[in-house]
Amino acid sequence: MSLDEEQSIWGHLEELAQRLRRVLFVVVIATVAIAGLPSDIGSALRLDFSDYRPLVSKAMGVVQEFLLPEGVTLIAFNWLDTFYTYFLVAIALGVLVSLPYIAYELFKFVSPALYPHERRYIHTFIAVFTVLFFVGATYAWFILLPTTFAVLYRFVYQTGVMPLFSVKDFFNMVAFGLVGSGLFYTFPVVVWILVKADLFEVQTLKDNRKQILVGLLIFTAVFTPDPTPFSMVLMSVPFYLIYEMTIRVLGMAEKRKAADDVLELGLKASRELLARTQEHDS
């Protein structure tokens, strides 16, 4: 590796570290703001704090009401469990609020590898990244997490054990399930970035389907919220479908670009031939 290449790599890493620090700063600011935000904004604006309830506490109540199976009781095993859970939910909400800025920093990091006309799509990139994340989080909220908790509770019910669960464990599964599923669904834009930056080719992605599927199954087996295969399947199947759709769309875009390049070359050759003909006639 040459000295210039080594300096270039360290320059990219330094820029990445700077952007990650900015993202972390924004997430921390959003988390702190959300942690102290009241659930009733109207009362806060009237400076009436007699019935103050934090927004995070209300969000925790909504999560329990929607996702906690009937008959299950959450308990805190030590003094810090509720404190940890409160700020875990605040951090998750802070990440959700900061998504557009996270997408912005990601796009700016890879923008030097894009063509000038592609750099104008920053607003589209931010919108698509944010929408895909929320699609993944919505999938986890309505399908993945309820199914996971229902399956796990079925095991508890069949063994006759009293359903008392740690509030910390429950909200860990919820937070990481929502954020993890959301990140999974942003995969198409990540692949688009890698292809545009010439780090991967579409044909390489097509040729390595089996390896991708095996790696995906291993990843979901390790990082899904429960040890049963249900969550692994619920995460893997949609993700693989998204993978197939992504490489197909990129393949069509690549063919269209190749056709446009051929057409441009043909037009250029025709213009040169016409110019030479005119010079010869003159």
Specify the pLDDT at position 7.
Answer: 45
Report DSSP state, residue 2. -
* Residue 42: count of CB within 10 angstroms of its CB: 8
Between 207 and 89, name the one with better pLDDT.
Answer: 89
Specify the pLDDT at position 43.
Answer: 63
Specify the pLDDT at position 209.
Answer: 77
What percentage of the chain has pLDDT greater than the value 90? 28
CA distances from 144 to 112, 186, 239, 269 (A): 37, 17, 13, 56
Nearest-angstrom CA–CA distance, 103 and 128: 9
Residues 123, 127, 128, CA angle at the centre, nearest 5°?
115
What percentage of the chain has pLDDT greater than the value 70? 77
- 206 has a pLDDT exceeding 60: yes
Name which of 84, 67, 77 is nearest 152 in CA terms: 67
In the structure, what pLDDT confidence band is assigned to residue 1 with cuts at 50, 70 and 90?
Answer: very low
Specify the pLDDT at position 266.
Answer: 55
Average pLDDT for 26-42? 87
Helix 81-97 vs helix 99-110: crossing angle, to nearest 10: 60
The helix (run of H) or strand (run of E) holding residue 39 is: none
- 93 has a pLDDT exceeding 90: yes
Q: What is the pLDDT of residues 159-180, one digit of tens each?
A: 777 888 899 999 998 998 898 8
Average pLDDT for 193-219? 75
In the structure, what pLDDT confidence band is assigned to residue 122 with cuts at 50, 70 and 90?
Answer: confident
Name which of 233, 236, 61, 67 is nearest 150 in CA terms: 67
The alpha carbon dihedral of 63, 134, 146, 87 has a sign of negative
In the structure, what pLDDT confidence band is assigned to residue 198 with cuts at 50, 70 and 90?
Answer: low
- 51 has a pLDDT exceeding 60: yes
Specify the pLDDT at position 4.
Answer: 46
